[in-house]
Amino acid sequence: MSSFSPNEMMTIAASRALKNEDVCFVGIGAPSAACNVARLTHAPDITLIYESGTIGTAPDVLPLSIGDGELCDTAVTTVSVPEMFRYWLQGGRVTIGFLGAAQLDKFGNINTTVIGDYANPKTRLPGGGGAPEIAISSGEIYITMAQSKRGMVEKIDFFTSFGHGEGGDHRQRLGIDTKGPTLLITDLAIWKPDEITKEFTVVLLHPGVTREQVQESCGWTVKFAEEMDTTPAPTERELKTLRDLQARTKAAHEGAGEGKAAYR
C-alpha cells in the first residue's frame, strides 16, 4: 500500500461518495478534484456541471476557475448562466451540490464572504457566487475542507450559504424542501449530520487519525458516533488517478512543454 497525504485521503474519500447516476454541481478547488477522480474511476457516467453553464464536462486537467476554457471544450453542451440556474439548479435537476468553505459551523452553514465584521473585515473573501443557490436548490450538499480552528468555527462571521441554520428543522420552517448538507469530508474524518439536531457528527476517522487530533483542529466541541470505524485507505488505482490528474494540471497551468495536448 502506497503512503498518502491527508489531503489525498480527503479528496479520495469525497470522490467515493459520488454515484454514477449523480448530476453534480461542482465547486472549484477540492470539490473539483474529488468529482473528477470519481468520474475517472467508479462513476464514469456522472454528469458534472460547473457554474459557467457547462454540462457533462469531462476536463482532462482541473480548471483554474469556472470560466476555464477546458470546461467548455470538454462539455456535452454549454448553456447560459440564467438557464443553468433557473432550469437545471432551481428546476431540481441537480442531485449533489459539492461545496468548499472558508468558515463552517457545526450545522453546515458556510461563509465565503468576509472574515471579521462585514463593514470592516479582516479579510474579504471571493464571495458566494452561485453557492447560496446551490446550497438550497441541490438535492443534497457535500462539503469538503481541510480542518482548522480558523475554518471550523462555533459561529461563522457571515452567512453566505445556508446549511441547517440553527439546526433541527430550520430548513423546513423556512420552506426549503431539499436535504441540505448531508456529508462533510475533511482531511481527518468523515462527518454526517445527526438525524434530529443536524449537528455534524464524526462517523469515520481516516487511517492513523485520533479523536484528539479531530478535536484539536475544530472550533466547536466535536461529537463522535457511538460506533466508530476507519475510512478505507486509498487504493493504488485511486491514488494513481488523483496524482496523474494533478500532474497533468500542474504541467498545463505552468505551460510545460507537453501541456494538455500530450494527455489527450
What are the beta bridge partners of residue 25? 49, 97
Contact residues for 9 (Cβ-Cβ < 8 A; gap 6+):
187, 206, 207, 231, 233, 234
Q: Kindly name the residue from 8, 21, 51, 216 that is annotated as catalytic.
A: 51
DSSP output for 137-204: HSSEEEEE----TTTB-SS-SS-SB-SSTTSTTHHHHTT--S--EEEEE-SSEEEEE-TTT--EEEEE
DSSP output for 62-86: --SSTT-HHHHHT-SEE--HHHIII
Question: Between β-strands 96-99 and 103-104, what pairing exists: parallel, antiparallel or unpaired?
Answer: unpaired
Residue position matching grid coordinates 469531462:
58
Active site residue 166: no
Residue 12 near residue 190 (C-beta atoms within 8 A)? no
Annotated catalytic residues are 51
